[in-house]
Copies of this chain bind each other. A is one copy, B any other.
């Protein structure tokens, strides 16, 4: 019965697509930058905006407070009592807009432009994750408008701290286990294989995130009066950063590789069979090829190996001209991507120890943990994975690729840890969407086929018993 209605639902999506785009544009105008407290009110406004949308669609909604930004929770039961319950996860916060000068149009003034695939919507969050969240929200709308209800029970959990590493989510999940009971989690925050080929992400890397400030002399010094007789904190921090990797790209933090599974020949063959376009991938960013651990291919490094990267570093005089100062402090932000059974908490401790042990005499250090997420892997034989694949097959001619992902969605690891739920990650991003960069965009064809796909996936999930 459900599938009988699916074609009508998909027609509804197409006939009302302009309205879907306009709703997304309205949401994108709200600069819900979670990483900067200046935007706290806007973050809340973005949650409330979506809450009103869902309420109007007949969902029961709750804005649930956390230690940080609130979680927007919503639920709507299916008419079919035996249908499974799917918990949809996404996030309503976005990355900061800077560096603003590199945007062709303002990050929070969405515009539709021509693209090589037709039309694209350009704005911070156009893909990550507001555009992607809209693919399932608008699929729900279409089902409700056409069929009067959803084919399965739907719960929605949209957080506001994904871009800061989801620091409050673990506590939220723990406190709301009953409310969040479901059969599977569906996440829309990942990419397609290419514009014509859908993908389900079945593994992703975990994340730890830290900020470190080291302090040497108690105040900034004149480099002429003190230079040569004091340890310069920028030199000290640089030396520690230089020590993070050995010359083969191996990370030197104690016990860092504990829990990293060896790559089996089968996995390596599977990855090799994907025929990843290394030249195109690195050429697009001005590089002649991959760096890092020489014994692994680019895809192996990106999906199956852990990393450690400084994301920002600063100290001393960084304005125009020069100032012959020896800075009192030097700082950095650092994150690691984790795989397999690596333990984020142990790794955070060992990062702290790594810096602490290398501090010069008289130096002190401040260490701040900005959040973490466990790595996650979905079993290949999951019936929900098969249902999602069947839904995508309904929309796309090319068969769905099962892929890994170098990025992290801390929620996915925490949902597994706390709720015991596997996540099916189905997203419609493209690798050139510039997420976390200037001129982020989402192809309108990805948005439209994403909505149609989620409409079909809902129907297929309803059939899982």
Contact = CB atoms under 8 A, between A and B. Distances in A.
A258 B205 CA distance: 51
Interface stretch (A4-12, A83-91, A402-410, A441-449): A402-410
Interface in A347-362: 360-362
Interface in A308-332: 309-327, 330-332
A437 B221 contact: yes
B227 A307 contact: yes
B224 A405 contact: yes
A137 interface: no
A337 interface: yes
A465 interface: no
Contacts of A361: 288, 291
B241 A224 contact: no
Nearest to A305: B228
B407 A287 contact: no
A362 B287 contact: yes
Nearest to A95: B323
Most central of A225, A228, A301 by chain B CB within 10 Å: A228
Contact of A96 (B292, B313, B319, B332): B319
A331 B238 CA distance: 12
A345 B37 CA distance: 47
Contacts of A315: 312-314
A173 interface: no
A312 B302 contact: no
A363 to B, nearest CB: 9
A388 interface: no
Number of copies: 2
A301 B14 CA distance: 75
A135 to B, nearest CB: 20
A165 interface: yes
A234 B313 contact: yes
A230 interface: yes
Given A285-B219, A291-B361, A333-B317, A301 B228 contact: yes
A242 B238 contact: yes
A463 interface: no
Contact of A312 (B211, B288, B305, B327): B327
A219 B290 CA distance: 16
Given A238-B241, A325-B436, A313 B311 contact: no
Interface of A: 34-37, 95-96, 98-99, 102, 163-165, 205, 207, 209, 211, 216-232, 234-235, 237-239, 241-245, 249, 282, 285-288, 290-293, 298, 301-302, 305-307, 309-327, 330-333, 335, 337, 360-362, 370-371, 405-408, 431, 434-438
23 contacts: A35-B319, A35-B321, A35-B322, A36-B320, A98-B319, A164-B322, A216-B287, A219-B285, A219-B437, A221-B437, A227-B337, A228-B306, A229-B290, A229-B301, A231-B291, A234-B313, A288-B361, A310-B316, A311-B316, A311-B323, A311-B324, A313-B314, A323-B333
